[in-house]
Structure 1
Amino acid sequence: MQDWVESVNRLKSLLPQDVQETLDKHEAAGTVEDPEYQAAADKYNEQFTCRLTPLPEGFVEDNEWMANNSTVYHTMNGPTEFFITGSIKTFDVVSDLHGINVPTLLTNGKWDGAQDTVVKKFFWNIPKVKWVQFAEASHTPHYEETRRYMDTVGTFLTEM
């Protein structure tokens, strides 16, 4: 999670200064439910969670479900992808990755919170691993580069 937090904060620093200031102000004040904060968080999500306009129906539905009951997400993660306050804040699985002994496919997008700095430790520590990055995607390559993503997964599954 430390790698994730560093990665998403680097991406957050690419947002316009006023958006960053709004996010920082509300995080410091503990007012992350404020509509102004939510609008600023949406700016992050537009760049680094799903870059498609309009958003895919499945993505919208997933977010509606989470909005209707965000207990698990907020308890584990926190209010956003980049403001981690939940129980997984200090989670670190890297020392256990060597124990994964099945073929593993890692994917990330160029604009994903799971930047290469996050994914590389998984790549280095899982014995039977393949890593594919999607150049036009953020955190949802299955929506943003659907054909290539499905081909990648299909090929991986038939070759393993």
Structure 2
Amino acid sequence: MAEMKSGYIDYKGFKTYYEIYGERKDNGKKPLLILHGGPGDTHLYLLNYRDMADLYDRQIIFYDQIGCGKSNIPHQEDDFYDYDLWINEFFTVRDALGLDDFHLFGNSWGGMLATMCMLRDDTGVASMVVNGSPYNCQTWLSEANRLILYLPEEMQKAIAEAEAAGGDYSTPEREAAYMEYYRRHVVGCDPWPDFVQEAFKPENVGECFNVMQGASEFVMTGKMKDFNVLDQVKNLKVPTMLLSGTNDEATPFLIKEAYDAMPAGTEWVLVQGAAHIGNATHAKEYFEAVENFIERHE
């Protein structure tokens, strides 16, 4: 396995944690910087992308966004968390790691973050992969609630009861319904791979998830509820590929909405049978799709 180096970068009086796999070589292969989802998740559920360092002799870089994982911080008031917090963190990390010629990958919220960063300043970014990301959160919400309708009726009822109770999934019936949705549309398997289980441990998930999204996958009560950049993404200049799965909670309908708003030349790879964390079950297909795209933009 490629050598791993890690460290911290000063940011807003706290520390942003990063991991780097492999060396930056003079082989024409630009580094790939990977942004995780949430806000409030950690890089751990994307950790097997580190295998790309060995498979393709390419440096792979992760960081935990401020407020989660190894970049956890003490409790903050809600107004601490906003888009600019993580946008500015991205540019801080880019500069601190000397990333002046690289590729960018974002999963879910990470793709939203990557897109906002590229709309602000795409300096040094050769290409971008946006994996399972909504450009209109109201579409995300409506599609999630549509997918619920394909669950057994008793599970639909359990989820409705949980949401009416403020996102309380503590009963066996509610937990079973929630986990079935995750099996079908989020992780795509049961049991979860070890690195996904580790990522979703409570100590790794930041309070910012509730602030920005809400109590669960099926509500959008936080600051992201009005997120909509569909009218802005036509201004993207960086070559972009959309990546998603047929079973993804970021449904083909949602990704098609984004694709239609993107500049001409944008690509879309749809992986048969994959859910939201497609790398958990379809690693080969996801790695190949990413590498095949970014190596054309070296």
TM over 0.5: yes
Most deviating of 67-76 and 149-158: 67-76
Structure possessing the higher relative contact order (Cα contacts under 8 Å, 6 or more residues apart): 1
Residues 8 and 81, structure 1, Cα contact 8 Å, conserved in 2:
yes
- Matches for 1:108-123 after TM superposition, within 5 Å: 108-123=244-259
Q: SS where residue 25 of structure 1 aligns? A: helix
Q: Deviations over 1:34-82 (max 9, x none)?
A: 4123442112111110122321122111111xx2244111111112212
Residues 101 and 126, structure 1, Cα contact 8 Å, conserved in 2:
no
Runs of 4+ in 1 over 4 A off after TM superposition: none
Aligned length: 157
Counterpart for residue 165 of structure 2: 29
Match of 1:99 among 229, 235, 248: 235
Counterpart for residue 141 of structure 1: 278
Match of 1:7 among 136, 143, 146: 143
Most deviating of 80-89 and 130-139: 80-89
Q: Structure 2, unaligned stretches of length 5 or more?
A: 1-136
Shift of 1:136: 1.4
Most deviating of 93-102 and 75-84: 75-84
What is the Cα-based RMSD across aligned positions, in Å? 1.5
Shift of 1:8: 1.0
- Matches for 1:10-159 after TM superposition, within 5 Å: 10-30=146-166, 32-36=167-171, 37-64=174-201, 67-68=202-203, 69-127=205-263, 128-159=265-296
* TM-score, normalised via structure 2 length: 0.50
Measured in 2, the distance between the counterparts of 1:133 and 1:8 equals 18
Q: Structure 1, unaligned stretches of length 5 or more?
A: none
Higher-strand-fraction structure = 2
Q: Deviations over 1:81-122 (max 9, x none)?
A: 122221111211111111111111111111111112111122
Measured in 1, the distance between the counterparts of 2:176 and 2:160 equals 13
Measured in 2, the distance between the counterparts of 1:8 and 1:87 equals 18
Q: Which amino acid aligns with 1:26?
A: A
Bigger radius of gyration: 2
Most deviating of 101-110 and 39-48: 39-48
Q: SS where residue 108 of structure 1 aligns? A: strand
